[in-house]
Amino acid sequence: MKRKSYQRKQKRVKRTRKAFTLFVAFASAIVVAFIALRVYVQVAGAPPLTVPKASIFLDENDNQIGDHFTNERRYWVDLDEMSPYLVKAAVAVEDKDFYKHNGFDFSRIAGAILVDIKAGSKVQGASTITQQYARNLYLSHEKSWTRKANEAIYAYRLEVFYDKNEILEGYLNTVYYGHGMYGVEAASRYYYGKSASDLTLAEASMLAGVPKGPSIYSPIANLDKATNRQHVILKLMADQGAITQAEKTRAEEEQLVLKNDMWVASKSVAPYFLDVAWQEASEILKTKNLDISEGGWTIQTTLNQGHQKAAEEAVASNMPANDLQAAFVSMESKTGAVTALVGGRDYATSSFNRVTQAKRQPGSTIKPILYAAALENGYTPLTFLDVGQTTFTYDNGRATYAPKNVNGEFAEHDMTMAQAIAISDNIYAVKTLEDIGFKNFHDMANRFSVNIGAKDNLSLALGTVETTLYEMTNAYNILASQGQKTLPTTIISIKNANGDVIYENKEVEKKAETVISKEDAYVLTEMMTGIFDPVFSDYSPATGIAIRSRMTHTYAAKSGSTNSDQWLIGYTPSLTAGVWNGYDQGKNLSAKEDMAATKQIWIDFMENVNKGTKNVDFTKPKDVKGVVIDIETGKLATDACPKQRLVYLNTQDVPTEKCTNFDILDSNTWGEFWNMLPFSIFKGEG
């Protein structure tokens, strides 16, 4: 009996020793694991807190006009910029011991493990706010033990290197609130149309309930369930002492007003313009080895909201009820700052930007660039050419080219450059190119940054090589800036998420590059005012006559047309605007309303933005002189010559001959007449 008792005692001792050994081994393993984890955490360092943030667009006056998101709609705000009710509500419902634990709530973990073991899978979470933040930053939402282990490691690293308020701020800026909204600021703007700093207790508690199940507890998706969860959160807040019972009661009784429909409407400010600005900002940041996809940028743009509204209204009110498309852009002459841009009739239907992306034949809008080259090669506004029907030969006489005018008719007399540009005579343009040579035209086009292709062909004079409205409008903007180089830009400055200025447009301060002389720019500009003057009308009317009656300011412009495109680009001394109309698939324009839209859009915009302002003439250089010319002869006009116009020329090009030697109102003419009489009595002799 004693032997058996001894044996049992020995077995108990062995079991106790074994259990103790296992305990010591397990405890040692935990200690070693903890030490190893601590060493790993210290070696790994602080995990980065970078998350995609919204980039904000401002107009020229610092008013917010839009935003841009790489993947998620998110605005980052500091903890002290959030409603304190929202912070308390989030802690109450998600992690009441947040400020007490070190990243893990072991009692919740134990309860969750029991539930998971019973279910045989990972079904219940016990994540603290720190763990959720770690998941939002670094992990997926997959329900697995591997993901949970990684989540714990990241959470521990966060607790080691960041304080509680930093973690809470990060969590509230990264959690998903449904409808594409990440973070409290985006959610607050979406649901309530206000900043997170202005949320009431009722609004904050409603919002705090959404992350548990955005598709279930969003007040837009299911108001009843959202309200029930709001009441649960308010009770938790009261029970935990975060609010009083009176505050809880008032919040439960408050009628909430959702304003998500207003938020949706606010997203449509100048969307085509913002696409261009985003692309330009991206290129600017690349030059500084920065990636725009990091987000958090504040991009101040050149957009003038008054101009943008005028442009959009002009397009909307003049487009026919068909598939005709439109493109519009306006620029400041001195800076190239884009003040308005419309890339199509409806961004929601098509985001294809017809200002910057569509390449179309510019037609006769190319002619001012050709004539700029001609002015440098001996031409003047009074250079006459025979513009009768002409067949040109090329390729050593093996091929011919017979250009026509838009109405199929031709002049029966020689014509000046001033008149040719006003009525857009094609024969004059082709003969000019043939005369000055392709090299001079290519050189001038390069200086104006306009593509005319590499091949030498007389049809280049009529704008047969495709280009964009953006390029062409900037070319005219160079003329408006008195021949000084301009580049279109949509960006004034870029700041990073910390408010540091990364880029500031200081192009205006640089010495301007001269494209053509200010004298030639002025002479060409004044010729381009002729499209609105009926004195130039001939076999075809001056091309801008249709809108002359609506003009209250001095404009220089040029129209262009092809079978499938209508253009009008023009400017004042301070602003240049370009319009294009056509079909995306290049269908021929035949309907009268299709071909009339372009000029009406342009004049609507120009008159709208210049309304109430003083008319300003183009600045005349001192070496340019204005003289009244007889259109038919190109000589100085007298009252005996009916077709007269003020024409500006370089001083050395001013004619000295009169259009006729007989002027009924000229005393010198009568003196010469009397001297020719043979009768001495009439000569006063006696």
Question: Which residues are designated catalytic?
Answer: 94, 364
Tell me the C-alpha distance between 347 and 467, whole Å. Answer: 22
From the list 357, 424, 425, 356, the residue with the least C-alpha distance to 388 is 425
Tell me the C-alpha distance between 598 and 370, whole Å. Answer: 23
DSSP code of residue 27 = H
Phi/psi at 401 (5° precision): -140, 120
Q: Which residue has the tokens 């103790």?
A: 20
Element (H, E) at 658: none
Tell me the C-alpha distance between 28 and 22, whole Å. Answer: 10
Helix spans in 180-222 (H): 184-192, 201-208, 214-217
| Cα torsion 158, 164, 165, 167: sign | positive
Tell me the C-alpha distance between 381 and 376, whole Å. Answer: 12
CA atoms within 13 A on the CB side of 649: 24
3-state secondary structure of 408: coil
Strands 565-571 and 556-561: antiparallel
Q: Name the amino acid, one letter, at 426.
A: N
Q: Which residue has the tokens 């602080």?
A: 46
406 Cβ partners below 8 Å, 6+ apart? Answer: 424, 426, 540, 561
* Chain mean position to CA 307: 14
Say if residues 294 and 491 touch (Cβ distance below 8 Å). Answer: no
Q: Which residue has the tokens 């309304």?
A: 611
Tell me the C-alpha distance between 513 and 524, whole Å. Answer: 19
Tell me the C-alpha distance between 596 and 578, whole Å. Answer: 15
Say if residues 308 and 340 touch (Cβ distance below 8 Å). Answer: yes
List beta partners, residue 565.
582
Q: Tell me the two tokens of residue 212.
A: 């548990």
Q: How far apart are the first and last CA of the chain?
A: 184
Tell me the C-alpha distance between 493 and 501, whole Å. Answer: 7
Tell me the C-alpha distance between 358 and 580, whole Å. Answer: 10
Tell me the C-alpha distance between 206 and 249, whole Å. Answer: 14
3-state secondary structure 578-629: EEEEECCCCCCCCCHHHHHHHHHHHHHHHHHHHCCCCCCCCCCCCCEEEEEE
Element (H, E) at 339: strand 338-342
Tell me the C-alpha distance between 258 and 203, whole Å. Answer: 10
